[in-house]
Amino acid sequence: MAGNTPSTFDPVAATRMVTSLGHNAAIGARYVAHGADWMELAIDYREDLVGDTTTGVLASGPIITLMDMATSMAIWVRRGALAPQATLDLRVDYLRAATPGRSVVGRGECYRLTRRVAFVRGMAHDGDPDDPIAHVAGTFMMTDAA
Amino acid sequence: MAGVPKLPPYARFLGISAEAGEDGPLFRLPFAVSVMGRPHFLHGGAIAGLLEIAALGTVLERLRDEPGVSIKPINVTVDYMRGGRERETFAAATILRLGTRIANVEAFAWQEDRDKLIASARMTLMVRRPKATGEG
């Protein structure tokens, strides 16, 4: 990986841990790649995650979950530590419907980190990063900060 | 009388059910490990999913007498206010405006006390009315 994270934080092991149970496990999230301040995760297409049975298009909920997780982990990557944090808000623009049958890759980036707040952005695509399906922006609060 | 919208597979995956409420459908998400984030708390993504289902379901219910109409999300902004605990979560939505092409909706999620929201969402939806617009 291109990352130069100055710590013992291991994004692959962390992904294995956070996707081993609960909702992240239920949607089948998995590690794709990471860098110094970004993280890529993916989910595979599944019929039980469909939002519109007439088109077979994935619901937007699994995409939010993926992006919440990818942006959240991007903060850990940038901080070099798995520290407690809470999502304050997350906005998602759905640029187009995800293509039925394709896996969705979510890339989260922490572009600004203060003592208490992390600012994140990201995008999701289903094969071509130049043709994204969603863009996101959000903020997280460091709950371990004084 | 208000009715109950038909829920998509993703809503069933989360375990959401809907019932007729006073001002529109009331959505219910029982706690389960499959919607858990960090231990003992609801996942933010599952809360967002519930809010989106509430927003979409409430608009679909309002449009139930219009055959062929479909809606799809343009964007959503979710604000998280409290951690969701290991108990049942409720959601309901208010339609701020339902136009020919666009609907603006707000959705709210709470647990034991409706005045203590755990999260809210504002959603912009595209409304497709085949008869009004001539689109398929």
pLDDT digits (tens, 9 = 90+) for A80-110: 999 899 999 999 999 999 999 999 999 999 9
Tokens found for residue B4: 């109950």
Estimate the share of chain A in helix, then strand, then coil, as percent rounded to the nearest 5.
Answer: 25, 35, 40
Model ipTM value = 0.91
The domain in which residue B48 lies consists of 9-128
**Chain A residues with CB-CB distance to B38 below 8 A:** 22, 84
Domain annotation covers residue B134: no
Q: Is residue B3 part of a domain?
A: no
Q: Has residue B133 been placed in a domain?
A: no
Pick from A26, A47, A69: CB nearest B34: A26
Residue B58 in domain = yes
Beta strands in chain A (DSSP E): 30-34, 38-43, 50-52, 57-58, 85-94, 104-113, 117-125, 134-142
Q: CATH number of the domain at B51, please.
A: 3.10.129.10
Say whether residue A44 is in contact with chain B using an 8 A CB cutoff.
no
The number of distinct structural domains making up chain B is 1
Beta bridge partners of B97: B104
B3 band by pLDDT with thresholds 50, 70 and 90 = confident
Q: What is the DSSP letter of B33?
A: G
- Does residue B136 form part of some domain? no
Q: What pTM does this model have?
A: 0.93
Q: How far is CA A87 from CA A72, A99, A104, B17, B48, in A?
A: 8, 28, 22, 26, 11
Residues B35-57 have a mean pLDDT of 95
A7-30: pLDDT as tens digits = 678 999 999 988 999 999 999 999
For residue B95, is it within any domain?
yes
> Which residues of chain B have a CB within 8 Å of the CB of A52?
8, 70, 72
Q: With a cut of 70, say whether residue A74 has pLDDT above it.
A: yes
